[in-house]
Structure 1
Amino acid sequence: MLSEFATEQVVRGGVAGAGLLLLAMMIGHALGDYPLQGHFLATVKNRHADISGFFGGGPGPKGMWIHALTAHALVQAGIVWLITGSAVLVIAELVLHWVIDYVRCEEWISFTLDQALHVGCKMIYAVALVAGLL
């Protein structure tokens, strides 16, 4: 079931509806990637990062990066859910955000491409909603 906001934008249709959905999701993305992510998740989600400063100089729990990356992706998915109300988009965002951030942490892509991929996902979500594909 779509949120009231998403339903209004689907009814509005066209570029205006998709644009407002995209704007809302971009605001949510900025909140989720910066203030809501914080230094801990931003650092610990990278399996190559030195996280000893968070754990009294010790190595920290084995596999902690998986928990941190998943927590961050869940925050982003939750934001998409609050904006759209779409369970399909929640699952898509959880998986896609996790994979995009993983490949960024592996340095297979640049920060700029990482952000462009996140924006691209939000664009696809907005168009899919307004086009009635979800």
Structure 2
Amino acid sequence: MDSHALLQTLTLLIVGHALADYPLQGEFLAKAKNRFAPVPGVPWYQALGAHAVIHGGAVGVITGSIVLGVLEALSHMLIDDLKCGHRISYNVDQLLHVVCKFIWLGLLAWGPALP
């Protein structure tokens, strides 16, 4: 991958993150995904899973890699759960999400071909 393609992919990953974390999450998922303050009648793990799958789908579409999409979904679930449990702050949450995008980019650029 040349530097232009890397920069373009990184930009799309960041834009995808912003879309998935803000307008595509909405107030319902933002509240319902929190196992420490659950919405009555809504399984928190379904809401958190749905939110994470939106993120994983964005990464998968942008990178063309189902493996990176799954890694994104899993890491997003873990990071958001840490934030909901007040183990990390909102700013650390967002930083870790962006760090993941750089990791995915590195795997794309320097790792073996990913399905």
Gaps of 5+ in 1: 1-9, 52-58
TM-score, length of structure 2 as denominator length: 0.91
Post-superposition shift, 1:48? 2.1
Give matches, 1:1-134, under 5 Å: 10=1, 13-14=2-3, 16-49=4-37, 51=39, 59-61=40-42, 64-134=43-113
TM-score, length of structure 1 as denominator length: 0.79
Which structure would you say has the larger RCO, counting Cα contacts within 8 Å and 6 or more residues apart? Answer: 1
Percent identical residues: 45
Q: Which amino acid aligns with 1:24?
A: L
Instruction: Indicate if the aligned counterparts of 2:38 and 2:44 stay in contact, CA closer than 8 A.
Output: no
Instruction: Indicate if the aligned counterparts of 2:29 and 2:48 stay in contact, CA closer than 8 A.
Output: yes
Other structure's SS at 1:108 match: coil
Post-superposition shift, 1:86? 0.4
Larger radius of gyration: 1
Gaps of 5+ in 2: none
Instruction: Indicate if the aligned counterparts of 2:34 and 2:48 stay in contact, CA closer than 8 A.
Output: yes
Runs (4+) of structure 1 moved beyond 3 Å?
none
